[in-house]
């Protein structure tokens, strides 16, 4: 086990306990000496972990502490790299793309040498994606979802006919060739999915959605699960 992995394990152990844990118990669980444990705790404290306690009294991690980037395992780090590379290629959403690049830079800045070398090696590659062009800024949709406000959109169907809709957006789905926003549609009085590349115009109404996005998302997922179960049952009968 590398020292980075051991530090991660120590953090996980401390997160499991709300009461102070003795140094002897921590050292035994990690199969290390008590002196090594003291050094590891000092290292974590130096990196910002709010670990309270001292030898003879036990140690406790203050509630709410989030693991800093340096505590990622190599598999977790690779998962982040793949996700950030994919997000960086969202050329139709400059804010998301820039945020992904900044995230990778922040992570790299605090990684220990062994993990930074893995990050710099570039052994994971996400090819450039080809997506359909969009006419509106997708970040406006994300802002509306976070703020739970209604949007007025001009939406084109398969035949190119445009209709005006007022929607309550609550989720964005990312597919290989296009993105879809899930929303309650006032025109249809039901949940609908709108391909973002078919949204011709978009404007905030300034009105809050009558329902919270979490409630809509929960109901929408339940409907999707029911529809999937029904299709599976029909396929099984046939």
- The domain that holds 36 is classified in CATH as 1.10.10.10
Print the domain residue range for 63: 3-67
Identify the weakest region by mean pLDDT among 21-25, 132-136, 215-219: 132-136
Looking at the structure, tell me whether residues 93 and 167 fall in a common domain.
no
Is residue 25 included in any domain, yes or no? yes
pLDDT higher for 39 or 128?
A: 39
Looking at the structure, tell me whether residues 106 and 59 fall in a common domain.
no
Question: Last residue of a domain, which of 21, 43, 67?
Answer: 67
Total number of domains constituting the chain: 3
Is residue 128 included in any domain, yes or no? no
Looking at the structure, tell me whether residues 109 and 97 fall in a common domain.
yes
pLDDT higher for 108 or 143?
A: 143
Is residue 194 included in any domain, yes or no? yes
User: Is-above-0.85 flag for pTM?
Assistant: no
Is residue 126 included in any domain, yes or no? no
Is residue 131 included in any domain, yes or no? no
Q: Using an 8 Å Cβ cutoff, are 36 and 27 in contact?
A: yes
Question: Last residue of a domain, which of 67, 94, 112?
Answer: 67
Say what the pLDDT of residue 75 is: 83
Q: What is the CATH number of the domain that holds 156?
A: 2.30.30
Looking at the structure, tell me whether residues 193 and 165 fall in a common domain.
yes
Looking at the structure, tell me whether residues 90 and 61 fall in a common domain.
no
Say what the pLDDT of residue 50 is: 86
Cβ contacts of 37 within 8 Å, gap of 6 or more: 10, 23, 26, 27, 30
Is residue 127 included in any domain, yes or no? no
What is the share, in percent, of the chain residues with pLDDT greater than 90?
42
Q: Which two tokens stand for residue 190?
A: 């039901």
pLDDT higher for 148 or 95?
A: 148
Question: Last residue of a domain, which of 23, 47, 67?
Answer: 67
pLDDT average, residue stretch 161-167: 96
Looking at the structure, tell me whether residues 81 and 61 fall in a common domain.
no
Looking at the structure, tell me whether residues 33 and 54 fall in a common domain.
yes
- SS3 sequence of the chain: CCHHHHHHHHHHHHHHCCCCECHHHHHHHHCCCHHHHHHHHHHHHHCCCCEEEECCCEEEECCCCCCCHHHCCHHHHHHHHHHHHHHHCCCCCHHHHHHHHHHHHHHHHHCCHHHHHHHHHCCCCCCCCCCCCCCCCHHHHHHHHHHCEEEEEEEECCCCCEEEEEEEEEEEEECCCCEEEEEEECCCCEEEEEEHHHEEEEEEEEEECCCCHHHHHHHHHHHHHHHHHHHHHHHHHC
């Amino acid at each position: 086990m590398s020292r980075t992995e051991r530090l991660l394990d120590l953090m996980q152990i401390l997160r499991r306990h709300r009461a102070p844990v003795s140094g002897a118990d921590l050292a035994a669980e990690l199969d290390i000496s008590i002196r090594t444990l003291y050094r590891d705790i000092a290292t974590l404290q130096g990196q910002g972990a709010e670990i309270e306690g001292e030898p003879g009294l036990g140690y406790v991690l203050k509630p709410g502490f989030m693991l800093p980037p340096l505590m990622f395992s190599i598999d977790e780090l690779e998962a982040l790299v793949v996700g950030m590379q994919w997000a960086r290629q969202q050329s139709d959403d400059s804010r998301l793309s820039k945020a992904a690049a900044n995230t990778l830079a922040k992570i790299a800045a605090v990684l220990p040498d062994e993990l930074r070398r893995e990050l710099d090696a570039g052994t994971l590659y996400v090819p450039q994606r080809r997506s359909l062009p969009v006419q509106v800024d997708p970040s406006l949709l994300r802002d509306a979802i976070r703020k739970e406000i209604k949007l007025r959109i001009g939406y084109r169907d398969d035949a190119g006919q445009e209709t005006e809709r007022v929607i309550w957006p609550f989720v964005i789905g990312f597919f290989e060739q296009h993105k879809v926003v899930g929303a309650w549609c006032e025109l249809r009085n039901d949940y609908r999915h709108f391909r973002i590349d078919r949204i011709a115009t978009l404007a905030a109404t300034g009105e809050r959605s009558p329902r919270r996005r979490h409630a809509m998302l929960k109901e929408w997922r339940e409907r999707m699960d029911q529809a999937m179960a029904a299709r599976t049952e029909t396929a099984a009968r046939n």
